[in-house]
Amino acid sequence: MLAYPLIAGLLFGLYFSLVGIGLNLVFGVMRIVNLAHGDFLMLGAFVGFGVFYLAGLDPLLAVPLAFAIFVLVGIFLYGILIPRLQQSVNPEMLSIILFFGLSQVIEAVMTIMFGTSERSIPSRELGSLISKIGKLLGASPEGGPVVILGQSFPAAWVISAITSVAAIFLVYVYLYRTRLGTLTRAVMSRRDEALATGINVDRVCAAAFGIGLALAAIAGVFAPFMFGSVTPAFGADATVTSFVIVVLGSLGNPLGTALGGVVYGVCYMLVQTYLSSWADLLPYVLLILILLLRPSGLLGRQVRVA
């Protein structure tokens, strides 16, 4: 009985790592609190809906499309919002106000355009590419279950977990195996020293902001499969969940989000299985506990004060 919530928790945990890693990357590089993070996740879900319902294509094809779109959106938003924000006396506090307002605008616009009804992509109608991957994993046709250690799980859960692992690995490669990533880590460590050495901090931050939003959008593509449905109001809850995951791992340490996501995912599935009526309280309880017991997160990294 315990095997199912633990394995499901690991699958969800890997997905939750993808949900939070973009938020942590943006904070780590710019010390900006993006309260609109969940709304970009919601927008990614709507990209998935468009690819499936309008174009009639496999929703998995929305992953590279969402990434490309929101990298560009992120670079554009950075150019018009962030430089002015960074010039203020207290950019962290103002970022909370700015991105809260952006969150409300995105939700309002999407509600006007698409209404408040829930939208989903039925598992039985998953595209051919997902089905082929599912078959390689031991699934039955048309997105049937995948058997792991004698327990059956939806193929989409497994595929989202694999996609999350791949995304986290690529973030690692970006940060530790590329020149841009080296510059990004330099800015994360000491922004003032990075400026003094001639690093183009604006270019580095713009790239990080775009990648952060794109990672959220990729997670959003899988949201209808992981949560059943998505509405324009989905972003607020997703933002809260993202912050819990980030704080659990270590605020300012993007790769620490992987640990935070797995811990949150396991707790989430255990509560859903044994205390389902308390599931909605889990993010807030975990956030309070981690702030009281270990404010620097499970990995213990201290956050620089600007």
Asked whether residue 49 is assigned to any structural domain, the reply reads: yes
What six digits make up the tokens of 166? 């791949």
Asked whether residue 233 is assigned to any structural domain, the reply reads: yes
Task: Please give the tally of structural domains in the chain.
Answer: 1
Q: Which residue do the tokens 């078959």 mark?
A: 135
Q: What span, in angstroms and rounded, lies between the C-alpha atoms of 299 and 174?
A: 21
Residue pLDDT, tens place only, 159-206: 899 999 999 999 999 999 999 999 999 999 888 888 888 999 999 999
Work out the angle between the directed axes of helices 3-30 and 256-274 (0-180°, nearest 10): 140
Asked whether residue 111 is assigned to any structural domain, the reply reads: yes
CB contact set of 162 (below 8 Å; sequence gap of 6+): none
pLDDT, mean of residues 219-241: 93
Asked whether residue 306 is assigned to any structural domain, the reply reads: no
What six digits make up the tokens of 295? 């404010």
Q: Which residue do the tokens 């590089």 mark?
A: 29
Asked whether residue 257 is assigned to any structural domain, the reply reads: yes
Asked whether residue 301 is assigned to any structural domain, the reply reads: no
Is the model more confident about 156 or about 204? 204
pTM above 0.85, yes or no: yes
What six digits make up the tokens of 16? 């939750």
Asked whether residue 18 is assigned to any structural domain, the reply reads: yes
* Average pLDDT, rounded, for the chain: 87
Q: What span, in angstroms and rounded, lies between the C-alpha atoms of 52 and 230?
A: 14
Asked whether residue 255 is assigned to any structural domain, the reply reads: yes
- Tell me which residue range forms the domain holding 174: 3-293
The region that residue 90 occupies, defined by phi over 0 for left and psi between -120 and 50 for alpha, beta otherwise, is beta
Residue pLDDT, tens place only, 245-304: 998 888 878 888 999 999 999 999 999 988 888 888 888 888 888 888 887 777 765 444
Q: What span, in angstroms and rounded, lies between the C-alpha atoms of 280 and 132?
A: 35
H/E run at residue 36: none
Measured on CA atoms in the order 160, 161, 162, 164, is the torsion positive or negative? positive
Quick check: 179 and 6 in contact, CB under 8 A? no
Calculate the CA 278 to chain-centre distance: 23
pLDDT number for residue 305? 40
Nearest to 294 by CA among 270, 260, 255, 258: 260
Quick check: 175 and 215 in contact, CB under 8 A? no
In this structure, are strands 145-148 and 151-154 parallel, antiparallel, or unpaired?
A: antiparallel
Neighbours of 290 (CB within 10 A): 19
Residue pLDDT, tens place only, 77-99: 999 999 888 888 788 888 999 99
Nearest to 68 by CA among 178, 176, 221, 186: 221
Quick check: 12 and 265 in contact, CB under 8 A? yes
